[in-house]
Chains A and B, each alone.
Chain A
Amino acid sequence: MNCFEIITFIVGENQGSKVLQKAKKCGVNGGTVIKAVGTVSDHLCQFLSLYDERKEVVIMACNTQVAKLTMNTLSQAFKFHKPNHGIAFSVLACQLIGFENCHTVESEEEKSMYHAIYTIVNRGNAEDVIEAAKAGGSKGGTILNARGSGISETMRLFQLEVEPEKEVVLILSKKDTSNKIIENIRSALKIDEPGNGIIFVQDVVRVEGIYE
């Protein structure tokens, strides 16, 4: 199999740059850091309304060999084997454009037991998505602030061009529970009606830092 991988790291606040530096030493060309908010399942924190934890999401692309090395090295360096120290997963990509020195290598096909579920909804609904997903058996999720619009035009308020604000919810789940999670989100947020959001699911090649 000739393939590239997209690796995604979800780590604590201000660790994104460190991840990027270490990954570069493993042979990754570069990456993108996105600010995000993660969920906390601790009951005391729920009670205190402190359930938003700031996270950083780092996205990098490279070939399978480098991906394996990077994920291994980094999950040790950042102690992903301990709870709440971070998560890493990778998905397959068929083309990379704009990368130098990134050659494909032969590798045997791997299969992990996980799905990455992306839900894009209007701003303010992400917590409902997470709630629905939790009811379906998920452990938590990561929220990324975003903006964008479908075919509808951008609005104009005063002199400002405005685009609708969105939230992207990223949830990792086992393949056997992912259907239930997706169904839950779908019915809770009425995704099937136009304008309420979209869901897409990716097959995950490999994960680090998830516990059952």
Chain B
Amino acid sequence: MHLILHKLKEVACSVVPIVLFVLCIHFFTVEIPSTLLIRFLIGAAFIILGLTVFLLGVDIGVVPLGNMTGKLLARSNKLIIVLLSGVLLGFFISIAEPGLMVLSNQIAIVSNGALPSMLILIVVSIGLAILLAVGFIRIFYRLSLSKILIVLYGIIVCLSFFSSSHMLAIAFDASGSTTGILAVPFILSLATGISQLRKDSKSSEMDSFGLVAIASTGAILSVLIMGIVSPFTYESQMMQLTSIDMEFVLLPFINELSNSVSDSLLAILPLSVIFLILQKFFFRLKHRQVRKYLTGFIYAVLGLFLFLMGVNAGFMDVGLYFGQQLVTLDNQWIILWIAFVLGVLTILAEPSVHVLTAQIEEVTSGSIRRVIILIALALGVGIAIVFAILRILIEPLQLWHFLLPGYIMCLLLMKFTPKLFVGIAFDAGGVATGPMTATFIFAFVQGAAQAYGNADMLVDGFGMIALVAMMPIITIELLGVLYKGKGDVK
């Protein structure tokens, strides 16, 4: 019981701040209609409950499975097995990712069917799969993470010169959505599983991170290449003001029901199949442990379902409403400040962030405290949202005006920050773009773009995800520089 209460308290501490902040805005700046407010509060309760159950499930089911799978791969001691299983694992995890399905449908629509959604799904999954295998090789052959990242991002920069701005936006969003809510904990724990075997614990710390970072570049690369190989003409579509349904308080929850059920079941499917196959042929665990993992999966599905319900039905409309209302205020400083605080607080409620910070504490035996990483991560996301809003307010500002210098900074800082932090930083970039950011904040930015007018649906909508994926890398690398200054980490 103690365990559940402890988790509940931890989750409540990370969700309550955002609720209080929204209430503050409600009382002092923009009044929210009562239907929306009630939905928001119900949604918050769903999120707290769902996140608690989900994280319990990740703890006892998903993370141990990832650890064991990683060790199994290492023990095989055969390159071909590692490569094949890396590709297979990556492909299955990615192809069943609900976020990626939504994205591929959107691309199919904006390309007027020139790029069918099934093609996109497969291309992105292959990209992720190949890069996941590359990530494995990097750990097994102890290649330097910084060098691999420089090469990968170098290729991305080269490709982006040949790509249109909408393709660029889609590509970065693809990387955000493939590293989804269950894939991230699994990939993270694969890496730590392999690294735990190492004799040298200092380098084992470093190898625990970076796999998510490498895998997520796979999605960017594959989308960019696809856009260059089969270019399509995209007519800029103006955004319409999304109207918010205000009639019945509970209506969106009922509408969301089937979506959330199928999304959460779909997300756990590949992991369950992987577990059952490996259990049958390799693990041969005892009954008690099998039961534990399977219960863990059930918790994960249940928690995910509640969480998605809360976010989609409760939070999204409030985000949209805020965006629409705040951007029309005369004093534009207000929306920038609110955007910053919203970014900082929302990231605290992001499921994968909990998993990443727990992993960091675990791997470093608690010498890097999770609070410190959280602060850096939250500041990064806060700044990213401010940039996203600025880009809407100031028209000449383009996405690459932020992305190019930003990524150059990421790569330069790698020279000055401890190696451990390079891995953590780039992983955090993938982790930050989870379901909370992709719905609540996304709706907020979209609402602002709609109400301000002259905003393009694709470029303005998706660009924000790319910013959220980039800024935490910079802030966490800066944190690493500070750590190095204090001499705590070599």
By a beta-carbon cutoff of 8 Å, the part of chain A in contact with chain B is: 12-14, 16-17, 33-35, 40, 42, 44-45, 48-53, 56, 84, 127, 145, 147, 154, 157-163, 165
Q: Bound complex: CA of A147 vs CA of B139, how far in Å?
A: 19
Minimum CB distance partner of A52 in chain B: B60
Name 9 interchain pairs, CB-CB below 8 A, sorted by A: A12-B6, A35-B365, A49-B296, A154-B199, A157-B77, A160-B139, A160-B140, A161-B198, A162-B198
* B394 contacts chain A at the CB level, 8 A cutoff: no
List A contacts of B3 (CB < 8 A).
Answer: 40, 45, 50, 53
List B contacts of A158 (CB < 8 A).
Answer: 74, 77, 79, 82, 140-141
List B contacts of A163 (CB < 8 A).
Answer: 197, 199
Are B288 and A127 interface neighbours, CB within 8 A? yes
Minimum CB distance partner of B56 in chain A: A50
Minimum CB distance partner of A33 in chain B: B366
Most B CB within 10 A of own CB, among A52, A154, A157, A165: A157
List A contacts of B2 (CB < 8 A).
Answer: 40, 53, 84
Q: Bound complex: CA of A162 vs CA of B196, how far in Å?
A: 9
Known A-B contacts: A157-B140, A163-B197. Give 12 more (CB < 8 A).
Answer: A17-B366, A33-B365, A33-B366, A49-B291, A49-B292, A50-B3, A52-B59, A84-B2, A147-B197, A147-B199, A158-B82, A161-B200
Q: CB-CB contacts of B136-176 with A at 8 A, as 1s and 0s?
A: 00011110000000000000000000000000000000000
Query: Known contacts A50-B56, A50-B60, A157-B75: does B365 contact A34 (CB below 8 Å)?
Result: yes
Most B CB within 10 A of own CB, among A42, A84, A160: A160
Query: Known contacts A35-B365, A50-B3: does B141 contact A159 (CB below 8 Å)?
Result: yes
List A contacts of B292 (CB < 8 A).
Answer: 49, 51
* B4 contacts chain A at the CB level, 8 A cutoff: yes
Q: In the complex, which range does the number of interface residues on chain B fall in?
A: 20 to 34
Q: Bound complex: CA of A35 vs CA of B140, how far in Å?
A: 26
List B contacts of A52 (CB < 8 A).
Answer: 59-60
Query: Known contacts A50-B56, A154-B199, A160-B142: does B366 contact A35 (CB below 8 Å)?
Result: yes
**In angstroms, how far is the closest chain A Cβ from the Cβ of B55?**
12
* B1 contacts chain A at the CB level, 8 A cutoff: yes
Considering the complex of A and B, which 10 residue pairs feature the smallest CB-CB distances, nearest first? A158-B140, A49-B295, A161-B199, A49-B292, A162-B197, A159-B142, A157-B77, A159-B141, A163-B199, A157-B74
Are B77 and A50 interface neighbours, CB within 8 A? no
Q: Bound complex: CA of A2 vs CA of B6, how far in Å?
A: 43
List A contacts of B60 (CB < 8 A).
Answer: 49-50, 52
By a beta-carbon cutoff of 8 Å, the part of chain B in contact with chain A is: 1-4, 6, 56, 59-60, 74-75, 77, 79, 82, 139-142, 194, 196-200, 288-289, 291-292, 295-296, 362, 365-366
Minimum CB distance partner of B4 in chain A: A50
**In angstroms, how far is the closest chain A Cβ from the Cβ of B136?**
10
List A contacts of B200 (CB < 8 A).
Answer: 161
**In angstroms, how far is the closest chain B Cβ from the Cβ of A129?**
13
List A contacts of B365 (CB < 8 A).
Answer: 33-35
**In angstroms, how far is the closest chain B Cβ from the Cβ of A32?**
10
List A contacts of B291 (CB < 8 A).
Answer: 49
Are A35 and B362 interface neighbours, CB within 8 A? yes
List A contacts of B366 (CB < 8 A).
Answer: 14, 16-17, 33, 35, 56
Q: Bound complex: CA of A50 vs CA of B196, how far in Å?
A: 23
**In angstroms, how far is the closest chain A Cβ from the Cβ of B292?**
4
Most A CB within 10 A of own CB, among B1, B56, B362: B1
List A contacts of B141 (CB < 8 A).
Answer: 158-159
Q: Bound complex: CA of A176 vs CA of B326, how far in Å?
A: 72
Are B1 and A45 interface neighbours, CB within 8 A? yes
